[in-house]
């Protein structure tokens, strides 16, 4: 059986995957957030979330996932002693959950790897 634990100098592959997803989430959402400011549609922001059944479905999906992610970030952040864990939830209202949640998962992955190696972060 092979030992799959990371060596003391390696970073888990999942860390880099989560970091890449966070970058994509930041760029993708920032692009549309900036466009919505520069090219206002005339509709109220929250009214647009429920403009038709398709968008309403996506909005409810996002709200459910964002709620679950926020709860997970708070509970897991406390459990693992991740500093500033609550800031991920706050910043998600400014940027996007598509950025902050994978970023938190990357930080969590690094914390778990260090904990397995017996190193306090």
6-53 tens-digit pLDDT: 454 467 799 999 999 999 999 999 998 888 888 877 667 778 888 899
Closest CA to 104 of 8, 30, 25: 25
- Structure confidence by residue, pLDDT tens digits, 106-120: 999 999 998 888 754
Instruction: State pTM to two decimals.
Output: 0.82
Within 8 A by CB and 6+ apart from 36, the residues are: 45
Task: Write down the pLDDT at residue 68.
Answer: 98
């Amino acid at each position: 059986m092979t030992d799959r634990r990371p060596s003391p100098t390696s970073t888990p592959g999942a860390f880099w995957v989560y970091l890449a997803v966070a970058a994509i989430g930041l760029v993708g959402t920032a692009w549309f957030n900036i466009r919505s400011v520069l090219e206002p549609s005339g509709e109220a922001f929250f009214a647009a979330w429920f403009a038709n059944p398709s968008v309403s479905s996506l909005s409810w999906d996002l709200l459910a996932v964002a709620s679950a992610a926020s709860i997970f970030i708070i509970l897991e952040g406390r459990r693992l002693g991740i500093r500033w864990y609550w800031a991920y939830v706050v910043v998600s209202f400014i940027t996007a959950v598509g950025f902050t949640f994978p970023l938190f998962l990357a930080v969590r992955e690094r914390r778990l790897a260090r904990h397995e190696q017996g190193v306090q972060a």
